Amino acid sequence: MTSLFTAAILGVVEGLTEFLPVSSTGHLIITGHLLGFTGEKAASFEVAIQLGAILAVVVLYWSRFRGLIVPAPGQRFSGVRGLYMLFLTSLPASVLGLLTHGYIKEHLFTPYTVAWALGIGAIMILIVEKKEPRPNCFTLDEVTPKLALGIGLFQCLALWPGFSRSAATIMGGMLLGAKRSVAAEYSFIAAVPIMFAATGYDMLKSYKLFTTADIPFLSVGFLVSFVSAWIAVKGFIYLLGKLTLRPFAYYRLALAPLILFFWS
């Protein structure tokens, strides 16, 4: 395949950007082009290492995920009700993603489309922050079915590589009444089922692209992604207590024209 150094770089990019509102897919596409690691196998590798980032969230929010299986006393976001919330959030993007998977992978995994997604997503973030929606949901236990489904509809925007699933769900949560930090935490947790389903579906279709010789490459990408995502999630939650999403929007606005310039 390619060097383990390439796997490590992609693992860092995936882990650091997966749960930030800057688009991990977009950054992986750009990084892959810079490293000369492109094509169908590269795209599948970039999807596969998302499992490391998913695992980091499961570990960090283990008590919440355990509560989905063994209902926790006093927690409404647990048991059947919690699973129902996640089902509602995952449903829209799962259905739309299944219908458009081939088209997206063939036509939208390019630096050009990523640049536009970064820019448009950034403008939307700034609009939401300027609006400063007044929250009425202050904890995960206050998430309602209506809010969960609404966030799921916003999550469909993330099917456009470069838009960012995190940005879409956090913006959607804020517009629908969730406190910024709650919208972010729900975004992390809700990412697990949709990412696991998308990753599993992609791997079922593309596993034949890999051989046993690729196991070290995949393992490095997975492990580095896990560690990087752990750091990113912990740091992001800390920053949201002090900052808005505006710095991430400015970063996206600065990055988008650079991408268009270098790939034009």
Query: How many structural domains is the chain composed of?
Result: 1
Q: What tens digit of pLDDT does each residue of 125-183 get?
A: 999 999 878 999 999 999 999 999 999 999 999 999 889 999 999 999 999 999 999 99
Per-residue model confidence (pLDDT) at position 247: 95
Domain containing 18 equals 4-262
**Cα angle: 63, vertex 65, 70; to 5 degrees:** 80
**Confidence (pLDDT) at 264:** 64
Q: Which tens digits make up the pLDDT trace of 107-129? A: 788 888 999 999 999 999 999 99
How does DSSP assign the chain, residue by residue? Answer: ---HHHHHHHHHHHHHHTTTTT-HHHHHHHHHHHHT--SHHHHHHHHHTHHHHHHHHHHHTHHHHHHHHSPPTT-SSSHHHHHHHHHHHHHHHHHHHHHHHHHHHHHT-SHHHHHHHHHHHHHHHHHHHHH-PPP-B-SGGG--HHHHHHHHHHHGGGGSTTS-HHHHHHHHHHHTTB-HHHHHHHHHHHHHHHHHHHHHHHHHHHGGG--GGGHHHHHHHHHHHHHHHHHHHHHHHHHHTT--SHHHHHHHHHHHHHHHHHT-
Specify the pLDDT at position 102.
79
**Percentage of residues of the chain with pLDDT beyond 90:** 60
Is residue 222 predicted with pLDDT exceeding 80? yes
pLDDT band at 1 (very low <50, low <70, confident <90, very high): very low
The two three-digit tokens of residue 13, written as one number: 């990019």
Whether the pTM exceeds 0.85: the reply is yes
CA angle 27-12-57, nearest 5°?
95
At residue 228 the predicted structure's pLDDT band, cuts being 50, 70 and 90, is: very high
**Token pair in block for residue 195:** 């990412």
* Tens digit of each residue's pLDDT (9 = 90 or more) over 58-92: 999 999 999 999 998 888 999 999 999 999 999 99
CA distance 64 to 182: 13
**What is the rounded average pLDDT for all residues in the chain?**
90
**pLDDT over 70 for what percent of the chain?**
99
Please report the pLDDT score of residue 46 as a whole number. 83
User: Over 60: is that where the pLDDT of 44 sits?
Assistant: yes
- Average pLDDT in the 37-45 region? 83
**pLDDT, mean of residues 197-212:** 80
